[in-house]
Structure 1
Amino acid sequence: MDGKSVRVISTPGPPCWKVYVDGAVNQRGFGVGLVLISPEEAIIEKSLRLGFSATNNEAEYEALLQGIAMVQKMGGKAVEMFSNSRLLVGQVKGELEARDARMQEHLSRVKRLQSGFDFFNLSHVPRSKNTHADSLATFATSSAGDLP
């Protein structure tokens, strides 16, 4: 070192939520799983059974929409979301086109909701890194009644 001091200036961003989402469709039903991690690292797990039939891709969108809504209800302004659906991530990022009218509607709902954040990012994760949300989504399909 030449003796000169080095300073690092860092401006902290808004407190950021992390949300892992997954959808599940099988012969028993339709569900979504969410794992929300608050900026303070509190973990919230959610299994939601969908009250309507959906394709697997629509269930993935429903999981994303539920995650966004939950973070907004808790006052979050920054969120980093993770999904193992390449289609979902590609469409939201504009890398893939939503051709089907129902998928276009889901995509436009996501775009409307994400504009309410100061920071929003959606990343693809391998299925092996999303097993918690996947288990919660599968659990939602296994219960005929309402989940607690």
Structure 2
Amino acid sequence: MIPKVDKELLLTSGTSSGVWTLYTDGASNTKGSGLWIILKPPTGDIIKQSIGSVHLTNNEAEYEAMIAGLELAKSLGAEIIEAKCDSLLVVNQLDGTFEVKDDRMRRYVEKLQVVLRRFKEWTLDHVPGDQNNEADALANLGSSIESEEFNSGTVAYIEVDIGSSTIEAEKS
């Protein structure tokens, strides 16, 4: 989670005007699932989060990462967002290029559409995985926590701050 002081600084420094850029990735393995978020406000700051979660499929983790990143951006006052995702499925299901056959995926598409409508302007672009090395590293960090450590619905937030060597972890 973003410390309250940093959040207030972002909100009062006029960062809501201008384009915010969001990069996301999701990963799933035998230990659990991880979500990766990098948010770049117009000020040039960088907010990075790696979130560990109970087991999700890879596609669910991709959607969860995008939704979490968009909600973070909106909570910080973003009005214009350029979202970038390495999942062709997410990008193409949202724009209608791929048919949504599974009910669970349909609910993710609908939720993503609701979240995106909260922005004045938005774009969602595909970024190939080989150009997303940092995304993979953070998503894997989030999925490296043993799932037995979680109760159902529990999420661990691991925040990595640029320019510091400290990593904060919070289990809820």
TM range (shorter): 0.7 to 0.9
Q: Which residues in structure 2 correspond to 1:13-28 (within 5 Å)?
A: 14-28=17-31
> Cα RMSD (Å) of the superposition?
1.2
Tell me if 1:71 matches 2:44: no
- 1:108 corresponding residue in structure 2: 110
What is the SS of the residue equivalent to 1:106? helix
**By how many angstroms is 1:141 displaced?**
0.9
Give the length in aligned residue pairs: 134
What is the SS of the residue equivalent to 1:142? coil
CA distance in structure 1 between the aligned counterparts of 2:18 and 2:95, rounded to whole angstroms: 22
Q: Return the match for 1:47 from 41, 46, 50.
A: 50
- 1:120 corresponding residue in structure 2: 122
Which sections of structure 1, spanning at least 5 residues, go unmatched?
Answer: 1-13
- 1:99 corresponding residue in structure 2: 101
CA distance in structure 2 between the aligned counterparts of 1:93 and 1:41, rounded to whole angstroms: 29
CA distance in structure 2 between the aligned counterparts of 1:142 and 1:62, rounded to whole angstroms: 17
**By how many angstroms is 1:59 displaced?**
0.4
Q: Which runs of 4+ in 1 moved over 2 A?
A: 143-147
- 1:84 corresponding residue in structure 2: 86
Tell me if 1:31 matches 2:34: yes
Which sections of structure 2, spanning at least 5 residues, go unmatched?
Answer: 1-16, 150-155, 159-168
Q: Percent same amino acid at aligned positions? A: 34
**1:35·1:132 contact (CA, 8 Å) conserved in 2?**
no
Q: Return the match for 1:56 from 48, 55, 58.
A: 58
TM-score using structure 1 length: 0.86
- 2:13 corresponding residue in structure 1: none
Q: Return the match for 1:132 from 131, 134, 150.
A: 134
Bigger Rg, which one: 1
**By how many angstroms is 1:143 displaced?**
2.4
CA distance in structure 2 between the aligned counterparts of 1:54 and 1:142, rounded to whole angstroms: 13
